Amino acid sequence: MVTTRYTRTAIGLHWLIAVLIIVAFALGWTMADMENSPRKLRWISWHKWLGITVLGLTAVRLLWRLGHPAPALPASVPLWQQKAAEGVHFLLYGLMFAIPLSGWLFSSARGFSVVYLGILPLPDLIGANEELGDWLHTVHIGLNYTLLAVFGAHVGAALKHHFIERDDVLARMVPWLERKG
Amino acid sequence: MLKRWLWQSAAVLGFGLAALGVQAGQALAPEQSEITFVGKQMGASAQGRFQKFTADAALDPAAIDKSRIRVVIDMNSVALPASDFTTEVKRKRWFDTAGFPEATFESKQFRKLDGGAYQVDGILTLKGVSRDISAPLSLKTEGSDLLAEGQFEIKRLDFNVGDGQWADTDTVANEVQIKFKLRLKPRP
């Protein structure tokens, strides 16, 4: 029998990481323009902790995926779309690693160590260097805009499959949406 | 005649000062000295340093009870790794470097501890607030130089550093570690 849906672990990781990314993105977006305040410092820390969590969970997810391949797309999906989907997923994985890493590097360059959950000090990836820090900040933001665009394509395609093509592509990740028959 | 008399007087004065020894005292070698501080925000350390400070000292391990030091820090020379944070700590709510451009430490007494270490008691004046502090330190002689090194902890709120909303110590800890490494050279 052909697997038609992702494993429960993959589904759980997908949605958990999705929520964490959305919260981290919203925090990052908002805090960037905030005046210095204790709240801003708290948000920056929460943002970092979320990012490190995403980085760790993405590593777990990738390892899981290596042992549990994604279910095939329905044969009705044209080849170019299958390739595009592959490309988008590849990009998403890359960004889920690159974005937290660029943030961690940025934090190190700013002279602030990341202390995960305020308890576990993570090593500084590079020494304090203000110019490099400014550059990494730009990279971090650029990668996030890229993520926003790729995320748009990912969600748009999922919704198109579900509401226009009315197939079970989205149901592979949301089991209760599965169409009977 | 007068010239000769002046030379003689100068020589006598010079010998006199040299004989008094510690009276001539020591001055700071700024490029080989450092004063840094480490605070914590949300559990993460953040370090800063002062780039300009001077010291006037008569520090002698052999005459520790007669030793003294006075350190003056130029608060505007504060530097954090990121320039926006340097600007932030100079603001009124932190160091208020415009209102209080200098911080000073003036020793009251030096003591010798067991095991070759020393302790200095003195008054730290920061942001217009003077408080007694006590710091352990090591004294090392290197040639004619004396190297004084130590560290102590202050509570920033004792000196109104970070007032208003920043008085919240859950975000920025109250405890700040001050580390100093002062190389003192005998005055010529």
How many pairs of residues across A and B have Cβ atoms under 8 Å apart?
47
Out of B81, B83, B166, closest to residue A38 by CB: B166
> Does A3 reside within a domain?
no
Domain that holds residue A86: 8-177
d(CA A180, CA A161): 16
Indicate the range of A8-12, A64-68, A115-119, A173-177 predicted with least confidence.
A173-177
> Does A1 reside within a domain?
no
> Does A2 reside within a domain?
no
| Per-residue pLDDT in tens (0 to 9) along chain B, 188 residues | 566 666 666 665 555 555 444 457 999 999 999 999 999 999 999 899 999 999 999 999 999 999 999 999 999 999 998 899 999 999 999 999 999 999 999 999 999 998 889 999 999 999 999 999 999 999 999 999 999 999 999 999 999 999 899 999 999 999 999 999 999 999 88
> Does A40 reside within a domain?
yes
> What is residue B182's predicted lDDT score, i.e. its pLDDT?
97
d(CA A107, CA A116): 12
Tell whether the model's pLDDT for residue A3 goes beyond 80.
no
Number of domains into which chain A is organized: 1
Tell whether the model's pLDDT for residue A149 goes beyond 80.
yes
Out of B43, B45, B83, closest to residue A130 by CB: B83
pTM: predicted TM-score of the whole model, two decimal places: 0.85
Amino acid at A127: G
> What is residue B5's predicted lDDT score, i.e. its pLDDT?
64
Domain ranges of chain B: 25-186
CB contact under 8 A, A110 and B171: no
> Does A96 reside within a domain?
yes
Residue A58: band (very low, low, confident or very high) from pLDDT cuts 50, 70, 90 = very high
- Could you say which of 1.10.287.990, 2.60.120.10, 1.20.1740.10, 2.40.128.110 is the CATH number of the domain covering B25-186? 2.40.128.110
Residue A1: band (very low, low, confident or very high) from pLDDT cuts 50, 70, 90 = very low
CB-based contact A135:A143 (threshold 8 Å)? no
For the stretch A98-127, what's the b/e string if a residue is b when 16 or more beta carbons lie within 10 angstroms of its beta carbon? bbbbbbbbbbbbbbbbbbbebeeeeebeee
d(CA B155, CA B160): 9
B127: left (phi over 0), alpha (psi -120 to 50) or beta: left
> What is residue B69's predicted lDDT score, i.e. its pLDDT?
97
B24 contact partners, CB below 8 Å, separation of at least 6: B17, B18, B58, B186, B187
